[in-house]
Amino acid sequence: MKKLISLSALAATPTLALAHEGHGGVGLFHHMVDLVPAIALVAVVGFIIWKRTR
């Protein structure tokens, strides 16, 4: 499970690097707001799987 979480975090890193300023967004990483629900969903599912396997 540690490898899956680490791999998921590394896979998401390049998308964060493509964030940019502009079109009314607040700050450089304003597209992070678009990614937060997906990241939270992955975290919740990972936690549930981790709890079931313990």
Query: Amino acid identity, residue 39?
Result: I
Mean pLDDT of 10-27: 59
Q: Which residue has the higher pLDDT, 32 or 39?
A: 39
H/E stretch holding 20 = none
H/E stretch holding 48 = helix 32-53
pLDDT value, residue 45: 92
Helix axes 2-17, 32-53, angle to 10 degrees: 180
pLDDT value, residue 22: 59
